[in-house]
Amino acid sequence: MQEKPLVIITGASSGIGAATAKLFSEAGHPLLLLSRRVEPMEALNLPNAMCRSVDVMDLDSFKNAIAEAEAAHGKADCLVNNAGVMFTADPTKQNVDEWQKMLDVNVRGLLNGIHLVLSDMVERKAGTIVNLGSIAGRKTFAKHAVYCGTKFAVHAITENIREEVSGSDVRLVNIAPGMVETALVDSSTDEEAKAGWWDYAKEIGGALQPESIAQSILFAYQMPQSVCVREMVVCPTRQEP
């Protein structure tokens, strides 16, 4: 029986990335799991999963990891660009280093992933790139100014490149989650903003579980190659904005 094609997932150590890794593994795909922390990925104990400590901003280590996985399993058929950071805060007080980190990881890191797989996919006339956007890439939210900016960029980049490579049967998909219960929220240094996020999540009956987003990613990927789910916005039913 021929092995299913390789799937690459960034930010695979927790949250949406880890949930997506489990689901694609259950579907029988060999995986390349990437994150700065390798131990949590290895702890998933998934069969046929190569786990590598890679910062998406380090283009060389990113490239080397992909080459190693492709040597073992063939060309990557899917890249899930999931790595991201979110720091929410009053823009008059937020540290500019947090702005830079969001721009670097959420935009440049995503572009590094696209750069490393897109040309080959176009040449082969096959492949799917799934970018994790956000509801914050469609509308703005208080204390999310720069985060929103990065996710608006993800939406624009995804749609623009999709248009340009559609004739080569390569798909770009934007998955835009609303409130999801992940450790991403807790990285914020503004305690008031963080508390407000969790308070609203409780008010609406809870944020989504990462597994719901993983199911959305797998659904979009498993559609026939002739079908491109260009964008999917997935939010708790009771989330108003």
Cα–Cα distance, 94 to 72 (Å, whole number): 44
Contact assessment for residue 89 and residue 143, using Cβ atoms and an 8 Å cutoff: yes
Taking a C-beta distance cutoff of 8 angstroms, is the pair 234, 175 a contact?
yes
31-35 sheet: strands from edge to edge: 49-53, 31-35, 6-10, 76-81, 128-132, 171-177, 231-234
Q: By the 8 A CB rule, do 34 and 11 touch? A: yes
| Residue indicated by tokens 């830079």 | 100
Residues 6+ apart with CB under 8 A from 24: 7, 9, 31, 78, 218
| Residue 181: half-sphere exposure toward Cβ, Cα within 13 Å | 14
Catalytic residues: 147
Task: Give Cβ neighbours of residue 173 (< 8 Å, ≥ 6 apart).
Answer: 128, 129, 130, 131, 158, 217, 220, 221, 228, 229, 230, 231, 232
